[in-house]
Amino acid sequence: MGTFFNRYFKFFVSVSFLFFFCASTVFAAPLKGFEASVVTIPKADLVMEPGSTQIISLSFKNIGTTTWKKTGKSYVSLYTFAPKYRASIFRSDKWSDYTQAALLKETSVAPNKTGSLDLVLKAPIAEGDYKETFKLAAEDTTWIPGSEITIQVKVQKPKPKKTEPVPEAVVSPAPKSGLSAMLLLRSAKTVVAEAGQSVPYRIGIKNTGTVAWNAREIRASNVAIASVNSVNLAAATPTNVTMSSKDSVTPGALDLIDFTFNAPASKGLYTIRYQLAVDKVLIPDFFIDIPVEVTTGSGEALESPIVVSPNEIQSSQTILEPTLRIGVLIVDQETDWNVEISCNTAWKLIDGEGGLLGELEKNQMVRAFYKNQRYYFNRGKGIEQTHQYLRFVPNEKEAICKIENFDQRKTRRAAYPDNEFRDVLELRYNKAKDRTWVINELPIEEYLYGLGETSNISHPEFKKALIVTARTYGIYNWERATKHASEYFHMNNSGDDQVYKGYGYEVRNPNIRLATEETRGVTVNYQNATAITPYFSRSDGRTRDWSEVWGGSVPWAKSVSAPCDARKGRQLWGHGVGMSATEALCMAEEGGKNWKEILHYFYQSIDLQKRWE
């Protein structure tokens, strides 16, 4: 029978409710030997507190000729009904899925025997009168005639009880310093980064003390904490701190603090701990713990096997423009575990085997999600399902598709929603990390249009140099089975690969597209093969040899001086291998170097080849 969902409804008013059950009195002829009659229903006038749960005991007699089973083929369970597969606002965490409400308790129920189920209902919050219908089903076989029951629900607030006056609560005194804080916001619950990568991070801290905050400072903690790998907290000291623009933060106010830190130098799981100092005094018993997953970095990517044909990796061969697959969104609580997708042209919903599931009009939206080895979607004709992953495919080239229920202004405190992407979107679950991604599939040049690694106003020659290194990084990952192969895409859209923001960023930064078009198809190559081209934010006066960071020898990634970074007293920000962005920008702005000269300076003995038209 399948399962279904609905997390689209949210309720905000306190209530309780009353239940009354009515059993169907019309019995259809047995279908495939399945038929039932209702034996036990709960008494009337059940009342529940708002948000509480209630176990409802149900029993049904098997009056058919087929034995009911708890597991295996045609197992028996209770679903929402009328219409079937309907999401219920009474769903509790005990349900198997959004519409599969209860499982048979007995291992088997022979004909003329009685089976039982415990239906766990959770009170909604909104007041009103409700009606809910359930029915037994033999999975993937039939709805069981005679098993339909209807719940009539009255939702109302409980009457207040008279209470005796109680003494005032005793409030614990604030620390003697008057300093106290609470962490309310963070830009990411878990950071995924490459070894040594510079990571921007934002936190929101509430002043819960009794004194105003003036000078604030993020410091590495000297308190040891547990982690999967040991981590040197001193090495993770923030490399850049931008404090709030407020002159002071009064008690009860929120302070937003932006800073960056470098990820640990080796692969593994870490927890990095920081503390907040106010006017040079640490806030007592307050810590900022940041979980960090260090993935395979450039060092391991260098050894990744090639997965495309030999002709496609020879830089002397002209190839068709590669199509990249970019992981743009993990489907989780940020979008209520589902996605709502539309396109700005007529488009098709297609399954993973190429089967047509639906033809959609311009701007028509489809809700979809993955659950229990099935993909569910609603294209305006009720809930449908398939075992194949879902592809959202526009009918026209360069069309824009939108994840309508993903708005980074609301969930990540960003300035723009950045929820629109060129060409195809795909909803796909992977077992490797037990999660579902939205994947954007598009030509590599269109991917570069929305690259968020530089701005519209940076020097044109610097932009071209950066775009060529980014293009090279993209085709390198396209050629090889790198770190995301188990999740069915080449790169993700965050800083542990390359920051990609999609169509909205392209519109706001048209000069990035111009730099892409002026260098179209050009990649960095070494001895007639694609070279891996790491780059980073800024150096402390010199770049690092590949061997200093990742070991081994890479002939085109040697240490070179960065005189502009040295002259300006900059500190290392990033892994240090390859091109320093600030030095490259200085070479363009102050040294008059063009993009080819910049690339030849940072990557030695390389060739720049146009790989596709």
Query: How confident is the model over 143-159, as pLDDT tens digits?
Result: 899 898 887 778 787 77
Tokens of 328: 């743009």
Is 409's pLDDT higher than 60?
yes
161 is a domain residue:
no
pLDDT tier at 383, thresholds 50, 70, 90: very high
pTM of the model: 0.61
27 is a domain residue:
yes
Q: What is the predicted pLDDT for the residue at 376?
A: 97
Euclidean distance between CA atoms 522 and 471, whole angstroms? 8
Among 264, 295, 326, which residue terminates a domain?
Answer: 295
Half-sphere exposure of 76 (CA within 13 A, CB side): 29
**CATH number of 281's domain:** 2.60.40.10
Domain match, 463 and 601 both: yes
356 is a domain residue:
no
Among 295, 327, 360, which residue terminates a domain?
Answer: 295
Domain match, 427 and 575 both: yes
372 is a domain residue:
no
Residue type for position 310: P
Q: What is the predicted pLDDT for the residue at 61?
A: 94
Q: Residue 354: how many CB atoms within 10 A of its CB?
A: 8
Domain match, 481 and 590 both: yes
276-327 pLDDT per residue, tens: 888 888 898 888 888 887 765 566 677 677 777 666 666 667 899 999 999 9
Q: What total number of domains does the chain contain?
A: 3
Domain match, 56 and 196 both: no
Euclidean distance between CA atoms 384 and 83, whole angstroms? 13
254 is a domain residue:
yes
42-78 pLDDT per residue, tens: 766 678 887 778 888 899 999 999 999 998 888 999 9
pLDDT tier at 543, thresholds 50, 70, 90: very high
Among 156, 189, 224, which residue terminates a domain?
Answer: 156
Residue range of the domain that includes 72:
16-156
Domain match, 191 and 288 both: yes
Q: What is the rounded end-to-end Cα distance, in angstroms, of the chain? A: 51
148-162, 267-281, 434-448, range with the lowest pLDDT:
148-162
- Report DSSP letters for 542-590, one per residue: BPBPHHHHH-S--TT----B-HHHHHTT---BS--BSEEHHHHHHHHHT
Domain match, 141 and 258 both: no
Residues in the chain, total:
613
Is 210's pLDDT higher than 60?
yes
Q: What is the predicted pLDDT for the residue at 162?
A: 55
How open is the CA angle 440-441-446, to the nearest 5 degrees?
A: 95
570-601 pLDDT per residue, tens: 989 888 999 999 999 999 999 999 999 999 99
- Share of the chain residues as helix, strand and coil, in percent rounded to the nearest 5: 15, 35, 50
pLDDT tier at 514, thresholds 50, 70, 90: very high
